[in-house]
Structures are given as structure tokens and as C-alpha cells.
């Protein structure tokens, strides 16, 4: 698709806060119509009120693991705006800790939200994107999906599956006007990790922290460039590739990275305490 987002219709899941909200703001500034999806009605309406002076916004309060709601989402978007051009699968779920300590319903929820929902939504989106003449499906993955992360086994598995699905779907749609890509960020400065900083693995904080706005920028770029994946930051993408291909290197380097991550966590927690005083 071209780089003109004016009057394009963009569906963003997990669209009430964090990366989803940052992405919504950037697409709104570019003139796109927005369909914002989340479980929090209040969060959606607050953001919609902020953005409606700039563009047209429809909010849909739903759980992305609800298959009927997923089907109806596209019908609502087409009815409201006449077409669908871009799907951003951003909704995420992460319950942290060793797999044996996590409730079975939480394990299932991570797979449902992080993997099953994007697969279903992407499949449902394709006929609408074809009808509109082309578009993009952008999945929000994670560096955890590029290499095993102890303490985040199910989350890592769901994001690895999402990455594999993205690459396979891109091949299925190769030569068509539909772009499929994944952005794989490391830690992001949002409540997704900052509000749970004590239980987030030290390994996570060993990598540079991106902002939600930086991830949103990459999502918009992936809609129009020829890349299938963007790892953030690139050096972390390289490191995850090496530790995946050569697990021994990862085991040797992990104590070093964890030590670095602990230092970063201490600094961040000190900054958070200072901000509250």
C-alpha cells in the first residue's frame, strides 16, 4: 500500500493504552479512521474523546479471545467506515513466573490473546483487505519470541508462534497487495512491565528500553516498507538470534545480562520512588 494513511481504516487491538494508544495517536495524526479495540470501555472512550477532534474513531469493547466478537468486529468496521485497510494485532497478555506456578487458566489466556486471537483476526481481515484493494497486517511480537526466556515460557512460546505465523502468512500472501509483518520489541516503557517491575525478569531489563511511541513509529513504517520484521533495538535482535542459534552462548552470557538487568531495575525503581515523593 502507499504511504498515505488519509481516510484509511485502521483496526488496533489493545488500543486503549501503551503501544496501542501511541499507535492510534500517530495514525490519527496521519488522517486515518480508527477502530479501537480493548476490554476497558473507559480507557477506550477517554482516548477516543482525545482523538475525535483529529479524526473519526469507533470504539469496540470486546475480548479478542471471543471468536464471535472477532467476526463482528470487521462487520462493524466496514459498516462504520466502508472498508478496512490495516489491522494491528497489539493486544497482549503476560502472566509472569515459572510455568509450574501459573494457573492453568492464565496459561490458556496467554495463548488465546497472544496467538489464537491474532491468527483468527488476520484470517478474518484478509477478505476485507482484498476488497479494499490491499493493506497491511502488523503483529506486535516480542524479542521473547526470538529466543527462550526463562520465567516467561508460555509468553515466549505465544510470541514465537505469532512470529512464525507472520512469516508463513507473508509467504502465502506474497505477490498480493497485502503486507504482513511483525515488530519484535524488547522492554517498552509502559505499564505492561513498569507496573510489575519487581516480578519482571532481570534478563528483560538487560536490553535497551523502547518507548511506546518508538514502537508505534515502526508499526507505521512496516505498513509501507518491504520489511517483514523489525527487532527493537537492532542489537537486541542480533543477540536473540545468536542465543537462539547457539544456546550455549545464551547460557554463558545469561548471568552477565541478568546482572546488568538488576542494575537497571534498581535505577528505574529509584527513579519511580523519586517521582512519587
Exposure of 75 by Cβ count < 10 A (0-12 exposed, 13-18 middle, 19+ buried)?
exposed
Residues contacting 236, CB < 8 A, separation 6+: 143, 186, 207, 208
Local structure of residue 179 (DSSP, 8 states): E
Predicted confidence band of residue 3 (pLDDT cuts 50, 70, 90): low
3-state secondary structure of 30: coil
| Whether pTM exceeds 0.85 | yes
| pLDDT recorded at residue 53 | 95
Q: What are the pLDDT digits (tens) for 45-93? A: 999 999 999 999 999 999 999 999 999 999 999 999 999 999 999 999 9
Q: What are the pLDDT digits (tens) for 179-194? A: 999 999 998 987 777 7
Cell of 63: 475480548
C-alpha 146/C-alpha 144 separation (Å) is 5
| pLDDT recorded at residue 270 | 84
Predicted confidence band of residue 223 (pLDDT cuts 50, 70, 90): very high
Contact between 15 and 24 (Cβ < 8 Å): yes
Q: What are the pLDDT digits (tens) for 28-52? A: 999 999 999 999 999 999 999 999 9
What is the pairing mode between strands 135-140 and 178-185?
parallel
- The structural architecture, per CATH, of the domain 9-276 is 3-Layer(aba) Sandwich (3.40)
Positions annotated as catalytic residues are 155
Local structure of residue 208 (DSSP, 8 states): P
Task: Provide the strand spans (E) within the chain.
Answer: 9-13, 33-38, 57-61, 86-89, 135-140, 178-185, 229-232
Residues contacting 197, CB < 8 A, separation 6+: 265, 268, 269, 272
C-alpha 184/C-alpha 232 separation (Å) is 6
**Whole-number average pLDDT of the chain:** 93
C-alpha 187/C-alpha 205 separation (Å) is 7
List the chain domain ranges.
Answer: 9-276
More confident residue, 266 or 3: 266
What is the edge-to-edge ordering of all strands in the sheet holding 86-89? 57-61, 33-38, 9-13, 86-89, 135-140, 178-185, 229-232
Q: What is the mean pLDDT of residues 236-249?
A: 84
Amino acid at each position: 500500500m502507499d504511504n498515505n494513511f488519509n481516510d484509511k481504516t485502521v483496526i488496533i487491538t489493545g488500543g486503549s493504552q501503551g503501544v496501542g494508544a501511541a499507535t492510534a495517536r500517530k495514525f490519527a495524526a496521519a488522517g486515518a479512521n480508527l477502530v479501537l479495540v480493548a476490554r476497558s470501555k473507559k480507557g477506550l472512550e477517554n482516548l477516543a474523546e482525545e482523538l475525535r477532534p483529529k479524526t473519526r474513531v469507533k470504539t469496540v469493547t470486546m475480548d479478542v479471545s471471543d471468536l464471535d466478537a472477532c467476526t463482528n468486529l470487521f462487520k462493524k468496521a466496514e459498516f462504520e467506515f466502508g472498508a478496512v485497510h490495516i489491522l494491528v494485532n497489539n493486544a497482549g497478555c503476560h502472566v509472569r513466573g515459572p510455568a509450574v506456578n501459573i494457573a492453568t487458566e492464565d496459561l490458556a489466556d496467554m495463548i488465546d490473546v497472544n496467538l489464537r486471537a491474532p491468527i483468527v483476526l488476520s484470517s478474518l481481515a484478509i477478505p476485507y483487505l482484498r476488497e479494499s484493494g490491499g493493506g497491511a497486517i502488523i503483529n506486535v511480537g516480542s524479542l521473547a519470541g526470538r529466543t527462550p526466556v526463562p520465567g516467561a515460557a508460555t509468553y515466549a512460546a505465544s510470541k514465537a508462534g505469532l512470529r512464525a505465523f507472520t512469516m508463513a502468512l507473508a509467504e502465502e500472501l506474497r505477490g498480493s497487495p497485502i503486507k504482513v509483518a511483525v515488530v519484535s520489541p524488547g522492554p517498552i516503557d509502559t505499564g505492561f512491565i513498569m507496573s510489575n517491575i519487581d516480578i519482571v525478569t532481570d534478563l528483560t531489563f538487560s536490553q535497551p528500553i523502547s518507548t511506546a511511541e518508538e514502537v508505534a513509529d515502526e508499526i507505521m513504517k512496516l505498513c509501507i516498507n518491504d520489511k517483514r520484521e523489525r527487532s527493537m533495538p537492532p542489537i537486541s535482535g542480533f543477540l536473540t538470534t545468536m542465543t537462539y542459534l547457539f544456546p550455549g552462548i545464551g547460557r554463558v552470557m545469561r548471568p552477565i545480562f541478568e546482572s546488568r538487568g538488576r542494575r537497571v531495575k534498581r535505577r528505574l525503581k529509584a527513579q519511580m520512588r523519586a517521582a512519587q515523593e
